[in-house]
Structure 1
Amino acid sequence: MIPLLLSAGLILADQLSKLWILSSIPLNTVGHQVGGGDFLRIIHVRNLGMAFSLGAGMPDWLRVVVFIVIPLSMLIALGFYLVLSREPSTFQRWILAGIIGGGLGNQIDRIFRPLGVVDFIDVKFYGLFGLERWPTFNIADSTVVICAILLGLNLLFGLGEGKKHEKELGGIRE
């Protein structure tokens, strides 16, 4: 249950940062350029879709199903798995708690903010993959992505398991 404190902390950090953006930067405006250049900007934009604004043009009823009902069901199931299962390691529990916290942070926006999820971190991408700037994101987005990458690395390579993982392999390191 202790990893759920991480979930709560992430939700709080995400929502407080979004409240700060809502109260200090007008919609579709650059509020701050961090470090003097334009590499990192704090801006106020809204996203009615998912990553890269996918699905923003869907009919409202379909967006509710695809972006609220299905993800919320998955987050609830993940929460039950985290609390009830003995299968995940300690490291995996913390990663899953991060995914739950980040996921719920954006779900709060989708349910209670009709203009869409508040995004505000804008990073220059220097033309990589044809993008001058990476799509704007928030704390919840970055948490879900980082935790999903860590979970993938953990499942593939045992990253973060340390001595416990060695014991499970009979002392043999992968």
Structure 2
Amino acid sequence: MKKHLKYFLVWLLIILADQGCKLWVYSHMSLGLDHHIKIFGDLFKFTYVLNYGMAFGWQFSFKYGKLLITLIRLFASFYIAIHILRLLAHAAPPIWIWGWILLVSGAIGNCIDSVFYGIYLNNAPDIAPMKWFHGQVIDMLHIDFWSGILPDWIPIWGGQAVCVLPIFNIADMSIFFGLGLLFYACKRLLPSQKKEQTKDFIL
């Protein structure tokens, strides 16, 4: 059990850091693209925004779309957690386990926002049919190569405020690096001579 403790500690640390950062931003910053805390000049700063959907603001357009997104997040988090236990039981290569740990940490971090923030931070949008499971995810990490308002003549996104890189959070970073690590693990551990012994650790 002790040899697996490091995975649990990293999982817990990521979730605590993610939630701590979000709650600090909620308590100390004004919402919107016009308010910043500069970390490295104009390149990297904190900007408090809300994301009602998934990555890059993508969302389902029907009434219970957000509820569906939240349920998908919960199911994915539960499935990945069970899968990690299976990997540990089968002594999977650590690179697999670390990839899934990063992935589930990020998924749970954003799940907490979706499930609880609508109630406890009152940040569910007015169009939400209920506050439970309709919380908006808090984003704040802003790498600002360029941001501005798109011209009105651009279809769909015209007139909207955009950034070259979307504003993200620690949970998003954890998911990104987890996926990157899993992709690297696939390339490293799945040559033809190792394919059979590792195929059970992919899904």
After TM superposition, the score normalised by the length of structure 2 is 0.69
> Any idea what SS the aligned residue of 1:113 has?
helix
What's 2:93 paired with? 89
d(CA) in 2 for partners of 1:104, 1:132:
26
Tell me, which stretches of 5 or more residues in structure 1 are unaligned?
160-164, 169-174
Which aligned pairs between 1:1-174 and structure 2 lie closer than 5 A?
Answer: 1-2=4-5, 3-28=7-32, 29-35=34-40, 37-55=41-59, 58-65=61-68, 67-85=69-87, 86=90, 88-114=92-118, 115=123, 116-125=136-145, 133-158=164-189
CA-CA distance at 1:132 after TM superposition = 5.1
CA-CA distance at 1:74 after TM superposition = 1.6
> Any idea what SS the aligned residue of 2:35 has?
strand
Consecutive aligned runs of 4 or more in structure 1 exceeding 6 Å deviation: none
Report if aligned partners of 1:120, 1:138 keep a CA contact under 8 Å in 2: yes
CA-CA distance at 1:94 after TM superposition = 1.7
> Aligned Cα RMSD in Å?
2.4
Tell me, which stretches of 5 or more residues in structure 2 are unaligned?
124-135, 151-161, 198-203
CA-CA distance at 1:87 after TM superposition = 6.1
After TM superposition, the score normalised by the length of structure 1 is 0.80
Q: What percentage of aligned pairs have identical amino acids?
A: 26
